[in-house]
Amino acid sequence: DADVTQTPRNRITKTGKRIMLECSQTKGHDRMYWYRQDPGLGLRLIYYSFDVKDINKGEISDGYSVSRQAQAKFSLSLESAIPNQTALYFCATSDRQYFTDTQYFGPGTRLTVL
């Protein structure tokens, strides 16, 4: 079984709809992240959470919100989806070791907003 899972893997929705993307992990990591990937732009950080009570905005948080329901679950919501939020979304987890940590990525959710 995969350590980091994302649901759904693909989603097509319409402008104005509310969408939730879910991420679950079995790695036991405290830290979880949501990234967005667009062609030619690499991955950009949307939100991150270092534990259940900690939520932080990333580089491009406008139009998104998150919820850390448990150590193993981190959800990303688009309250009112718009077409320029069409992208590939990745969840990642990490567990700080020494002075750095390695992030492990889920398989991604491809979201299309019409």
Partner 1 sequence: GQQLNQSPQSMFIQEGEDVSMNCTSSSIFNTWLWYKQDPGEGPVLLIALYKAGELTSNGRLTAQFGTTRKDSFLNISASIPSDVGIYFCAGQLNSRGAQKLVFGQGTRLTINP
- Report the interface residues with partner 1, using CB under 8 A: 4, 31, 40-45, 48, 50, 56, 58-59, 90, 92, 94, 96, 99-108
For the bound state, the minimum distance from the C-beta of residue 67 to partner 1, rounded and expressed in Å, comes to: 20
Is residue 92 within 8 A of residue 105, CB to CB? The reply is yes
* Measured CA distances, 11 to 7, 8, 14, 68, 81 (Å): 9, 7, 10, 21, 12
Nearer to partner 1, 42 or 84 (CB): 42
> Least distance (Å) from partner 1 to the CB of residue 102?
6
Considering beta carbons, is residue 27 or 44 the nearer one to partner 1? Answer: 44
Torsion of CA 39, 41, 43, 46, to 10 degrees: -110
